[in-house]
Structure 1
Amino acid sequence: MENLLIIFRSLFKKGRNNLIKILSLGVGLAVGLVLIAKVYFDQSFDNFFPETDQVYQVQMNFKMGDADPSESNHTSGGLAIGFREDILETMSASRFTVLNNGEHFYTTDGEKYRSDIIMADSCWFDIFPRKMLVGNPREVLARPMYVLISDEIAERLGGASVAVGQTIWIDGNKGKNLTIGGVFERLPYNTHLRYDMIISMESISKFMWDGTENWLGNERYTTYVKLRPGTSMERVEEEIDDMKNKRLPMEEIKKVGLELNYLLVPLHDIYSGSKEVKQMSWLLGLLAFALLATAILNYVLIVISSLVSRSKEMAVHKCYGASEPNILKRMLVETCVDLFASLLLAAVLIFVFQGNIKSLLNQEISVLFNAQSLWVLAGVCVVVFLVSGLLPGYLFSRIPVAAAFRNYSENRRFWKLGLLFVEFIAAGFFAVLLLVIVRQYNFMVNDDTGYNADQIAYCELSGVNRELRQKALDEVGRLAEVAEVSSASSLLFYGASGNNIALPDNDTDMFNVADLYFVGNNYFDMMQIPIIEGRLFREHGAANEVMVSRSFANKILAYVDWTDGVIGKEILISEHSEEGGTFTICGVYENIRIGAIGMEDTRPSIMFSATTPANYMQIKFHQLTAESMKAVEDLLVRLLPDKDIQLYSYEAELLNRYSDSKRFRDQVLIGGLITLIICLIGLLGYTSDEMNRRRKETAIRKVNGATIMDILRLFVTDISRIALPALIIGGMGAALVASRWMQQFPQKADVSILTYLCCGVVVFLIILCAVAIKSFKAAVDNPAESVKSE
């Protein structure tokens, strides 16, 4: 207690630099702990479900001809039934699908609510159980036109008891009334599943084609299976092969050149174990370690810098009987007080900047700092305490008693240089890593997509009948703010469904394409997609015409001998040619990017002419502004009062596909700035100590004719010897980490060795400038003042 009182009284004592210690450690802890909490959160996905080690997601693995194999978590509806009936090790199997427009629902009094809606079968809660507040989930999900809602939705409707029995309808499906039959406890945030309303699978025929017992095609379902404890996966794989031979026309599948298999992915691996999340967790963990290490080492550096000034204090304590363990204990208590103050500062910073943290990590602070993660963070704080306290405590406890009676000159300079060396490594690491990330991000957002989304907005119109869609297009096209209007079935940055290509005289599928389905008459002009061969669709559309990409025209020539090109040739397209109808290629357009870099669909693509307006209305404005978008939204709300209307900027949504890279860029930027600031604090403190230690030396040099530049060079050269190798090591480490991060992108920005060198030089110059500015005082001081005590 006495040590504690002494330490509290000395918090603001001159020369201790306690405020700087607490500030640098607090800022480092704030960012480091938030990053660690994010890593823990990402690695805890789905662990709240019981018996998670027995739950698997069924994924399709397929290969068409000589194409690369692909995997998909979308399967046919009958697969869950097959697992329940044919795989003996199965305890239960279930599947769900999403509604094309399942984001809002309406109550009978016309109130609109937002919700994440899925459609699942009656076995869903056998695999993913949740506490039920009202109702039996198996019974409710077995009844047509019944739904389960979360307690969060129920609260908005007046409570669980009031909500049950109410009638609702989904946006775009007015007249298809659903009855609320039960209320379940909401899902926590750390799950790959996103829903707060479940419609019974028995209702599917009211909303779409019923493919719940289908085995080929209509792969819109996500299937899960729960196996018995101790199940042999080799045995399950054998039974899956038997199930395929029993349920699927395997001979016909092989005949068309398709290889089809089913994979079981453990529940933990769906999100936490995925390659992307594991890599990001590793990178964020590395950033957190670098930040915390820099903050801790800077704290230790500041404490060691006070070694000379506090030597008599420690020696006097020893004169009064304090042993080395007593001194160590006192230093640990001092570290504990500093750490507590730093944690308070970190908590304040996290609270104040919680909005920024949410945008950086895409998660609320209250979610990241939960009961489980707090234990992990407490463990990190214990490690920080031990590292920050033991090393200074050991050095202070070794101060001899004689220091009380003579000047103590031991300054632990090599300890300080070693700590600065590590801090410089961290600064160089962050600087180079940030450079690479910025270059790659700028490359992705500025890369040519093959189309121009400038001044274009879109609006989703599923659930609206064709007459109203056409009227909406006509009315919007008349607005003064609008340059032109069209429609499309697909948004290019989202990706595309697939279909197979064959010839009329040969039913063997040649290859798979990205099917963009239907586009309006002026779609190509609006998107500025060049036509390189042939022509556009006829003005009012032709049901038997198709346009193909350049890559399609090139790829099909590997299968057929069309020396005169593809224009006018007839092909079969699965799904579209189910009745045997052929399609004539009328034009070839330049290759366009479908998806985004790192998520790109590289298959050749095709488009059809829309005889009626497609699901997405696309509007090109003379000038895309909030006011012009509001004018279109207001008009559509009047025309379509039963439809939830929301306009989105096409270009903004395209850029949003790179939001993960943008967030990582910002995380490294903030981490780098904080590391550099902490590093400079330590550097300035070290330079100040060196000025005091060498002030008589510098005075004598000046008396002997040394200039100001000679004195500055003395300090700058001293730091350069450790800064240069440290920055090289940090830059090399960053280059290795950056190359690992860049592996997720098939197209990479070019970063030359010269660029790396320039980045290192900039950081090096910042360090030298800081030293020069700090040591300038020593260079201009009157030497007589420094040596008058001699």
Structure 2
Amino acid sequence: MRQLYYTVQILLRGRGSNFIKLVSLTLGLLIGILLFSQIAYELSYENFYKDPENVALLRCRRVKDGISDKDYDDSTFRPAAADLWEALPDLIESASLSVNFYQPDCYIDDKKLEDMQVMFADTLFFQTIGLEILRGDPHELATPLSVFLSQSKARELFGDEEPVGKTFSMSKMLDVTVRGIYQDVPGNTVYPHNTVISLPTLEEYIYGRGTWKSNDIYNVLFRLKSPESVEAMNNRIQKAVERYTETKEGTDVMEFSILPLPDIYLSSPDNVRRLVILGVLGFSIFFVSIMNYVLAAVASFSRRAKAVGVHKCCGADGTHVLGMFMWETGILVATSIIACLVLMYIFREGIEDMLHVHLAELFTWQNLWVPSLTVLLLFLVAGVLPGRMFANIPVTQIFRRYTDSKRSWKRGLLFVQFIGVSFILGVLVTTIWQYHDLMTRSVGFRTERLAVGQLRTTENLSGQGVEDDIRRQPYVESVARNSNSLLSHYSTTGLTDIQGNFLCPLHFQNVAKDFPQTVGMQLVEGAWPEHIGEALIGRKVVETMKWGDKALGQRLPVNAQWVGLDSQPTVVGIVEDVRNMGFFMEQTCTAFILSDKRNGSYNVRLKEPVDENLARLNEFVKEAYPKAALEFITYMDIQRENYSNVYRFRNTVWITSLCIFFIVLMGLIGYVNDETQRRSKEIAIRKVNGAEAPSILSLLAMDILKVAIGAVILGTGFAWYVSGVWLEQFADSTLPSPVWFVLLAVGLLVLIVLLVILKAWRIANENPVQSIKSE
């Protein structure tokens, strides 16, 4: 208790330095705990299922001339589930089919339901994946228009009412009936869902039933009899598939394998890369926070040394002194934990949006070891390191001035902090530049003021009539129809060479006349399509097919019936490539075919102000077509949603950068204050001997620059390297110019020098007599 009493007295006397320590620890703990917990959360993907290691996903990839595609396709063919179960009954316990790429809008009456994460699945889905059914019979999923809801979604939609038997609308076209309730699915899954609709609903009303050669849209899951069955099945699966379908196409081979469910998330190099960078960011701010605490403690040596000597004269040994400092660190850490909890509560919504996970899911009992270990590590390092230094202060110092300034320690700690802040600011430059580049780079058409909406209805509406009604609105500049959003996955067919070897998929869709001009496509060669069956292609098609200057007049290998034509479409023009799959993937081959069939998507160019007119447009179509599902969204918003992970990562780096910058700023201020106080007599003597204020300031600035220059170069160089790793996930992306990193380093050094000058200004201009007479 006596140690605690002395500790409290010391804390009360050093309120200024303790405030700096507290802020530093709080910021470091807050960001460190959040980032480390996020990493642990993402490493636990799919682990909430029953025996998840026994569940495996079927995947395939193309092997061309003995060279495998880099990425696997996680969606395959419908018959694979039943056929492989039949072929390998000694390894497979059950098999299931599901589809999650199609996300229909759902309504109760005219109210659109928010956050409906839809999965279409068969009767064995829950058994195979390992989810508990709370109510209902899963065999109901064999019936079209049947749906199971998660427990929380059922409560959200129907409150305390009985959900089973309730109905809601799917795209205002089909009414589905709730047949059961299943356990909630946490957010740490690559297949999020809170609504499971029977697979026959999708196959009978939307896409049709897939075969071994068509509609490779199915996620095929197997529940194996043991985890060891994964390797055994991968050894036999290729031959098993070949019993049911041809896997060769020219010189290409479709290669099949399975992957355990818990390994799916980390099988993506982009996810691994992101977690590594989050770990580096978390470690950076956490380590800098600890070093700043130690720096503040070391800076107080000369002031507290005499007190330590007094304690030793009164019988305290090194262990007691260390214990006092551990008590001091413990109190500050406990206070910082409380401050962290308060900040999490106040900024909960912003934190959850940044991390894209609810804090209640992030800090479950299973994950509490992460913040606990973080706090323990902080306490031990921040307490023991300076505590041992205090414990080693000699007792004889009570009779004389303690002269050990620990300058090597101070400079070393400051060096580490400068590395940390320059590194994170360098990553910040890259993330800001990258997000701006993604949002402003050309996607092959003009997205400004352009909105898109998909019409779905059971009414016999004229597509042209709806288009004309929209065009007549005073806030609409132009409108044209096509098959679906330009920034989406189109219908696909294969492009092949003369020998019949597969080259790549061709993404195509139907468009109405004048559609290319309305959306702002850029014609490179040829003419705009004027007649049914004429088509535009992107530059990538010409390059892939090696058509050169003979592209015009070529026939596209598209099934004419798919696009409502009598014969294959003819190329009449070449346009700049449309980046329909975004910048995470390589440029696709695209084609746009003039047809009056299946054009249910409306592209509307609005007048300014866009947000206001978008709201007016949605209100108009809701009133004019109450039984139709038609809601418009701008292409800019689609892009923002597509790059939401980049946006969140950028914000994470923003917050981390601000916190670490603030921590380093406080550490630098403390260091300069301590140095000017320690060297006040030296500065006074220099002034008595004729030194001017500028030379004194230059002396102090050069002292800091000796530490800062090397640290900033190292930190900025490391930032450049990590930025390159981060940008590997984006196709066609390049690092910002090295000039930006150089400017960052120079700007940071200038800021450091300015701060030193501002803090040392008073002592450099002070009357030297004041310092000397206080000696």
Instruction: Give the AA of the match of 1:133.
Output: L
Give how far 1:85 is off: 0.8
> Is it true that 1:198 corresponds to 2:196 in the alignment?
yes
Q: Distance in 2 between matches of 1:564 and 1:17?
A: 74
Does the CA contact (< 8 Å) of 2:84 and 2:241 recur in 1? no
> Is it true that 1:227 corresponds to 2:246 in the alignment?
no
Q: Distance in 1 between matches of 2:769 and 2:186?
A: 71
Does the CA contact (< 8 Å) of 1:135 and 1:181 recur in 2? yes
SS at the partner of 1:548? strand
Aligned equivalent of 2:239? 242
Normalization by structure 2: what TM-score?
A: 0.94
RMSD of Structure 2 on Structure 1 (CA) = 2.6
Give how far 1:760 is off: 0.7
Aligned equivalent of 1:52? 52
SS at the partner of 2:383? helix
> Is it true that 1:262 corresponds to 2:251 in the alignment?
no
Q: Distance in 1 between matches of 2:185 and 2:205?
A: 25
Aligned equivalent of 1:548? 537
Give how far 1:630 is off: 2.0
Normalization by structure 1: what TM-score?
A: 0.92
Does the CA contact (< 8 Å) of 2:563 and 2:597 recur in 1? no
> Is it true that 1:519 corresponds to 2:508 in the alignment?
no
Q: Deviations for 1:162-209, whole angstroms, at most 9, x for unmatched residues?
A: 1123344322324xx433221111111211222222222344444235
Q: Deviations for 1:565-595, whole angstroms, at most 9, x for unmatched residues?
A: 2333334324747999532424122232323
Does the CA contact (< 8 Å) of 1:470 and 1:613 recur in 2? no
Q: Distance in 1 between matches of 2:297 and 2:422?
A: 24
More moved, 113-122 vs 702-711: 113-122
Give how far 1:56 is off: 1.4
Q: Distance in 1 between matches of 2:344 and 2:172?
A: 42
Give how far 1:499 is off: 0.4
Does the CA contact (< 8 Å) of 1:550 and 1:590 recur in 2? yes
Give how far 1:730 is off: 1.0
Aligned equivalent of 1:85? 86
More moved, 684-693 vs 358-367: 358-367
Q: Distance in 2 between matches of 1:343 and 1:719?
A: 33
The 5 Å alignment of 1:151-170 reads 151-158=151-158, 162-170=162-170
Q: Distance in 2 between matches of 1:414 and 1:92?
A: 66
- Of 179, 182, 185, which aligns to 2:180? 182
> Is it true that 1:472 corresponds to 2:466 in the alignment?
yes
Aligned equivalent of 1:95? 97
Q: Distance in 1 between matches of 2:641 and 2:295?
A: 43
SS at the partner of 1:757? helix
Give how far 1:289 is off: 0.5
Q: Deviations for 1:543-586, whole angstroms, at most 9, x for unmatched residues?
A: x333322332343346xxxx872333334324747999532424
Does the CA contact (< 8 Å) of 1:132 and 1:185 recur in 2? yes
Give how far 1:160 is off: 7.8
Does the CA contact (< 8 Å) of 1:439 and 1:749 recur in 2? no
Shift of the 231–688 alpha-carbon distance from structure 1 to 2, 3 Å rule, reads: closer
The 5 Å alignment of 1:756-767 reads 756-767=741-752
The 5 Å alignment of 1:488-637 reads 488-501=482-495, 508=500, 511-538=503-530, 542=532, 544-557=533-546, 565-574=550-559, 576=561, 582-595=567-580, 598-612=583-597, 614-637=599-622
Does the CA contact (< 8 Å) of 2:33 and 2:371 recur in 1? yes
Instruction: Give the AA of the match of 1:508.
Output: G
Q: Distance in 2 between matches of 1:15 and 1:567?
A: 79
> Is it true that 1:445 corresponds to 2:423 in the alignment?
no
> Is it true that 1:116 corresponds to 2:117 in the alignment?
yes
Shift of the 654–589 alpha-carbon distance from structure 1 to 2, 3 Å rule, reads: farther
Instruction: Give the AA of the match of 2:544.
Output: K
Shift of the 470–65 alpha-carbon distance from structure 1 to 2, 3 Å rule, reads: farther
Q: Distance in 1 between matches of 2:245 and 2:68?
A: 22
Give how far 1:514 is off: 2.9
Shift of the 245–141 alpha-carbon distance from structure 1 to 2, 3 Å rule, reads: same
Using the aligned pairs only, state the percent identity.
25
Does the CA contact (< 8 Å) of 1:55 and 1:224 recur in 2? yes
Instruction: Give the AA of the match of 2:424.
Output: F
Give how far 1:63 is off: 4.9
Q: Distance in 1 between matches of 2:246 and 2:762?
A: 86
Q: Distance in 2 between matches of 1:223 and 1:600?
A: 24
Does the CA contact (< 8 Å) of 1:566 and 1:585 recur in 2? no
> Is it true that 1:218 corresponds to 2:215 in the alignment?
yes
Q: Deviations for 1:672-728, whole angstroms, at most 9, x for unmatched residues?
A: 222122112111111111112111111111111000011111211111111111111
More moved, 84-93 vs 663-672: 663-672
Does the CA contact (< 8 Å) of 2:25 and 2:293 recur in 1? yes
- Unaligned runs of 5+ residues in structure 1 are none
Q: Distance in 2 between matches of 1:307 and 1:711?
A: 24
More moved, 415-424 vs 96-105: 96-105
- Of 276, 292, 299, which aligns to 1:305? 299
Does the CA contact (< 8 Å) of 1:498 and 1:512 recur in 2? no
Q: Deviations for 1:60-113, whole angstroms, at most 9, x for unmatched residues?
A: 212568998363222121111112111231111111124845231437xx7654
SS at the partner of 1:72? coil
Aligned equivalent of 1:27? 27
SS at the partner of 1:473? helix
Give how far 1:522 is off: 1.8
Does the CA contact (< 8 Å) of 2:151 and 2:181 recur in 1? yes
More moved, 224-233 vs 333-342: 224-233
The 5 Å alignment of 1:347-362 reads 347-362=341-356
Aligned equivalent of 1:431? 425
Q: Deviations for 1:195-249, whole angstroms, at most 9, x for unmatched residues?
A: 222222344444235425x211111211111222153555423432222222113
Instruction: Give the AA of the match of 1:528.
Output: G
Instruction: Give the AA of the match of 2:332.
Output: D
Q: Distance in 2 between matches of 1:580 and 1:448?
A: 31
Shift of the 13–644 alpha-carbon distance from structure 1 to 2, 3 Å rule, reads: farther
SS at the partner of 2:367? helix
Aligned equivalent of 1:331? 325
Give how far 1:611 is off: 0.5
Aligned equivalent of 2:106? 104
The 5 Å alignment of 1:618-767 reads 618-749=603-734, 751-767=736-752
Shift of the 686–530 alpha-carbon distance from structure 1 to 2, 3 Å rule, reads: closer
Aligned equivalent of 2:455? 461
Q: Distance in 2 between matches of 1:678 and 1:283?
A: 20
Instruction: Give the AA of the match of 2:83.
Output: G
Does the CA contact (< 8 Å) of 1:502 and 1:571 recur in 2? no
- Unaligned runs of 5+ residues in structure 2 are none
Give how far 1:480 is off: 0.9
Instruction: Give the AA of the match of 2:72.
Output: E
More moved, 322-331 vs 364-373: 364-373
Q: Deviations for 1:393-423, whole angstroms, at most 9, x for unmatched residues?
A: 1011111222223222222121111111111
Shift of the 304–99 alpha-carbon distance from structure 1 to 2, 3 Å rule, reads: closer
Instruction: Give the AA of the match of 2:32.
Output: G
Does the CA contact (< 8 Å) of 1:118 and 1:195 recur in 2? yes
Does the CA contact (< 8 Å) of 1:57 and 1:266 recur in 2? yes
